[in-house]
């Protein structure tokens, strides 16, 4: 007889929301870095967060205020209502290992939320599919940024590039991932609140700019289907959001310019920043691009951390069952 | 020895620019209706328009004021500068047979221009490829609507769905055409100037609407690559342009509503109107949809003409060489 599972560890990756021109509708998952969450059955009923490592004490242990806690509570409530109390009246404890810096624009809250939801679902016998988990993960985003956005959680759950066509009704479309893309990511050591990065945006935009933007968004999607990195690079061009948010990131313009000079096909802000990403043809180019971006930030007085990653095509993954 | 060609007839199809959400960036070609142009070598040097049939006298015979004439003049000038005078000092006469009503939103000027340019190029020994002919056809659009738009002429030349990502530099991307789509097109007998349909648009749009729009544009492109007509139908939804232009087309709302009730997957304005189109799964549905749209316009006091067509995937075509 197979021993029942008491504990599941899940890794969920960093994600790049917006992806240049596709503000608020597109996101993609990276292979690394990411967060790991361990979900374990415990005697205490309900959801408990026992520890958060690597957040410098920034995140709340109270599960009603923690994105991962909120999402898992919603999930367990829904499953309980659906099929009786799961896990024989036991509770679930969560232990979060943050590999992603908070407020970095790399989908840090989404990674914790998705890892926790996938781990809890697995612990409960995997009653729901990945796409069925999405609404629960989105509840965590409501806690993190005031709105149930899906452009980080959807690619984090599903992998690859994911388009959110509409929220009412929710219409999520998985797109092909380019087979050979390498992404250089640089995280300047500045904290930028999503709410501040939203506030800077103008409520109205010129129609001509919007048209140019949706031409680029269309081309970005075509580039994904064609596996055409050059086209994707051209199509990242964002004339609406990036010029506003660039003002909040000292060194951004210099870093972008350095990235393009060093061979990046395109470069933009990851999520609401301050992290930035550059699309490259191969890992060697991406390493070189990441290095020149770090140097450019350094010259602007900002220290930063670099990562080079391929596109994660599977989303969050179970790394251990005990 | 093969007899030299003295005359070429080319058919160029109607096109639907904008295609719902993708205002000013996307267009597609229909199989029918369309215009035919006969280009013939003549003794009189330069470009002459000898006759225009089916335009009710609306179009100028002066080649410097006629879109087809302007484009062919540009083409011949460019070829002359490149490789000496083509056609041994003879001129080219053009005879236009309008199958498309002027000012209908079905790319009438583009069809004449493209047919003329393709016919002249063929007459001159086909020195240029289809994509190389695009800038010359765009010059005709500058005469027709004041700007060198490509969202009618590009699909008319190339066939299928064509995305214009950017004009500076010109970046034209051919997209796959859905294999089984049937399009119901209804042309209400109202003349609507492109310039008036432009004037009604607001210079600024809410960012939230623009985001919804580019989510739909992205989904429309994904639908084309996936050959997913249902997704395309959802993605036609246009919250920015259609609500403004619908005011200029009496009966539009009723016709759209009737189309959707009769099984259309999506419906929007063709180009700047007044023609409207509906995406359907098959020709029978499209016939039914076209009929209910005509009835709805009739109830609104507007007579109209209907067409049902598949997507033309080859663009303009030579129908006779003599």
Q: How far is B238 from chain A (nearest CA, A)?
A: 12
- A116 burial level (CB within 10 Å; 0-12, 13-18, 19+): buried
Same-domain check for residues B252 and B292: yes
CB contact under 8 A, A21 and B221: no
Q: Is residue B241 domain-resident?
A: yes
Same-domain check for residues B157 and B27: yes
Split at pLDDT 50, 70, 90, the class of B197 is confident
Same-domain check for residues B210 and B131: no
Output the domain CATH number for residue A200: 3.30.70.890
Give how many domains chain B has, as a whole number. Answer: 2
Same-domain check for residues B88 and B215: no
Residues of A annotated as part of the active site:
141, 194
- Give the bridge partners for B52, in sequence order: B96
CB contact under 8 A, A210 and B240: yes
The B182-188 sheet, strands edge to edge: B266-269, B276-280, B182-188, B304-310
CB contact under 8 A, A218 and B222: no
At residue B145, does pLDDT exceed 80? Answer: no
Q: Is residue B2 domain-resident?
A: no
> How large is the C-alpha radius of gyration of chain A?
19
At residue B84, does pLDDT exceed 80? Answer: no
| Residue A195 pLDDT | 82
Same-domain check for residues A124 and A172: yes
- A222: nearest Cα among B157, B153, B214, B174: B174
CB contact under 8 A, A218 and B163: yes
Same-domain check for residues A41 and A163: yes
CB contact under 8 A, A205 and B203: no
Same-domain check for residues A146 and A186: no
- B20: nearest Cα among B167, B227, B189, B218: B218
Provide residues of B within 8 Å CB-CB of chain A: 21-26, 163-166, 171, 173, 175, 201-207, 210-222, 225, 231, 234-235, 240
Count each helix (H run) and each strand (E run) in chain A, helices first: 10, 12
Provide residues of A within 8 Å CB-CB of chain B: 21-26, 163-166, 171, 173, 175, 201-207, 210-222, 225, 231, 234-235, 240
Same-domain check for residues A131 and A213: no
Q: In chain A, whose CA is at the least distance from the CA of B214? A: A214
Q: How far is B261 from chain A (nearest CA, A)?
A: 20
Q: Is residue A1 domain-resident?
A: no
Split at pLDDT 50, 70, 90, the class of B86 is low
Predicted ipTM of the assembly: 0.95
Nearest to B205 among A166, A204, A219 (CB): A204
Domain carrying residue A127? 7-176+312-321
The 10s digit of each residue's pLDDT in B230-263 is 999 999 999 999 999 999 999 999 999 999 999 9
Same-domain check for residues A98 and A134: yes
Same-domain check for residues B153 and B264: no
- Confirm if B106 and B62 have CB atoms less than 8 A apart: no
| pLDDT in single tens digits along all 322 residues of chain A | 556 899 999 999 999 999 999 999 999 999 999 999 999 999 999 999 999 999 999 999 999 999 999 999 999 999 986 655 555 578 999 999 999 999 899 999 999 999 999 999 999 999 999 999 999 999 988 887 778 899 999 999 999 999 999 999 999 999 999 989 999 999 999 978 878 888 999 999 999 999 999 999 999 999 999 999 999 999 999 999 999 999 999 999 999 999 999 999 999 999 999 999 999 999 999 999 999 999 999 999 999 999 999 999 999 999 999 9
Residues of B annotated as part of the active site:
141, 194
3-state SS string over A274-289? Answer: CCEEEEECCHHHHHHH
Same-domain check for residues B21 and B74: yes
- The mean of the pLDDT values for chain B is 94
The 10s digit of each residue's pLDDT in B37-62 is 999 999 999 999 999 999 999 999 99
CB contact under 8 A, A173 and B222: yes
Same-domain check for residues B148 and B46: yes
């Amino acid at each position: 007889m197979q021993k029942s599972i008491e504990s599941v560890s899940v890794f969920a990756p960093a994600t790049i929301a917006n992806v240049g021109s596709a503000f608020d509708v597109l996101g993609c998952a990276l292979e690394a870095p990411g967060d790991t969450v361990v979900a374990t059955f415990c005697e205490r009923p309900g959801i408990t967060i026992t520890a958060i490592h690597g957040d410098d004490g920034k995140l709340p242990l109270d599960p009603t205020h923690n994105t991962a806690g909120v999402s898992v509570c919603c999930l367990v409530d829904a499953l309980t209502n659906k099929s009786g109390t799961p896990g024989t009246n036991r509770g679930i404890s969560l232990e979060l290992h943050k590999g992603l810096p908070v407020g970095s624009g790399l989908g840090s809250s989404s990674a914790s939320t998705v890892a926790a939801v996938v781990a809890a679902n697995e612990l409960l016998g995997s009653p729901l599919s990945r796409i069925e988990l999405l609404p629960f993960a989105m509840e965590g985003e409501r806690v993190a940024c005031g709105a149930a956005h899906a452009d980080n959680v959807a690619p984090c759950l599903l992998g690859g590039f994911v388009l959110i066509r509409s929220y009412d009704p929710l219409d999520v479309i998985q797109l092909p991932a380019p087979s050979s893309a390498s992404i250089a990511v640089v995280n300047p050591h500045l904290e930028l609140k999503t709410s501040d990065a939203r506030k800077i945006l103008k409520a109205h935009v010129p129609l001509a700019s919007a048209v140019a933007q949706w031409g680029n968004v269309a081309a970005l999607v075509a580039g994904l289907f064609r596996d055409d990195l050059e086209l994707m690079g051209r199509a990242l061009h964002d004339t609406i959001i990036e010029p506003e948010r660039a003002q909040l990131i000292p060194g951004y313009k210099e870093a972008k310019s350095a990235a393009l000079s060093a061979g990046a096909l395109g470069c933009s802000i990851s999520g609401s920043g301050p992290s930035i990403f550059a699309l490259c043809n191969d890992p060697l180019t991406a390493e070189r691009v990441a290095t020149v971006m770090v140097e450019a930030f350094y010259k602007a007085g900002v220290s930063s951390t670099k990562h080079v990653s391929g596109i994660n095509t599977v989303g969050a993954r179970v790394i251990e069952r005990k």
